[in-house]
């Protein structure tokens, strides 16, 4: 469509040039037919075959049937592959020396070598009371420090005994403060809301 430009301005912004058109007027219009279009008005309707439907003079093919073989059926997982709502994935026992924050669905089975006293202090900035105790866990592959804070500390402190074996399920992994723990492990365990300590467990189990 040809048009006439009355005024323009060439503006340079940083490294890019911008052409600004202030006004334009259409001088003429030309319509050109592309191809050979055929009107649909009065076109004969084609009778649909079996399994087909006609909507607004358009024939819709039937949907592909589901079968035990073929790409359509293979997109659906088998019943055994489905995880039911609320079903928890199985936890696997991981050696302490292999613990890393990227791991999921794991637990440790270790003996409590040391357990500190339950410490309590008041945080004036937060106007809240805090509680903490720590443990040194060992499973033969290595040692790691475990931190238990606040409600978790108060709930399980009396149930954990030194020299006994426990399974620690769903703890969190945090970066170790080696100067405070004296251990060589790069990570520490932090008890969270979903962490459980199961035991004591017989040493041979």
Cα–Cα distance for residue pair 196/71, rounded to 1 Å: 44
Mind listing the pLDDT tens digit for each residue in 65-89? 555 554 444 444 443 344 445 555 6
User: Which of 48-52, 151-155, 165-169 has the highest average model confidence (pLDDT)?
Assistant: 165-169
144, with CB counted inside 10 A (0-12, 13-18, 19+), is buried
pLDDT for position 179: 82
Average pLDDT for 160-172 = 93
Q: Which residues pair with 137 in a beta bridge?
A: 112, 144
In the predicted model, is pLDDT for residue 15 greater than 80? no
185, 176 contact by CB (below 8 A): yes
Contacts of 59 (CB under 8 A, 6+ apart): 46, 48, 52, 53
Query: Checking phi first, is residue 188 left (phi over 0); if not, alpha (psi -120 to 50) or beta?
Result: beta
Coil, strand or helix at 118: coil
Quote the mean pLDDT of the chain. 74
């Amino acid at each position: 469509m040809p048009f006439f430009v009355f005024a323009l301005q060439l503006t340079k912004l940083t490294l890019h040039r911008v052409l600004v058109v202030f006004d334009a007027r259409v001088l003429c219009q030309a319509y050109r037919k592309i191809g050979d279009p055929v009107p649909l008005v009065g076109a004969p309707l084609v009778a649909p075959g079996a399994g087909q439907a006609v909507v607004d003079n358009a024939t819709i093919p039937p949907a592909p049937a589901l079968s035990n073989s073929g790409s359509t059926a293979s997109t659906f997982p088998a019943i055994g592959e489905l995880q039911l709502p609320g079903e928890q994935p199985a936890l696997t026992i991981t050696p302490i020396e292999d613990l890393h924050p990227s791991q999921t669905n794991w637990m440790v089975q270790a003996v409590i070598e040391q357990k500190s006293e339950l410490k309590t202090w008041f945080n004036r900035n937060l106007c809240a009371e805090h509680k903490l105790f720590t443990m040194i866990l060992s499973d033969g592959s290595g040692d790691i420090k475990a931190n238990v804070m606040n409600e978790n500390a108060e709930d399980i402190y009396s149930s954990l005994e030194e020299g006994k074996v426990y399974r620690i399920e769903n703890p969190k992994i945090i970066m170790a403060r080696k100067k405070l723990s004296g251990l060589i492990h790069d990570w520490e365990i932090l008890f969270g809301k979903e962490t459980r300590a199961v035991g004591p467990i017989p040493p041979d189990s």
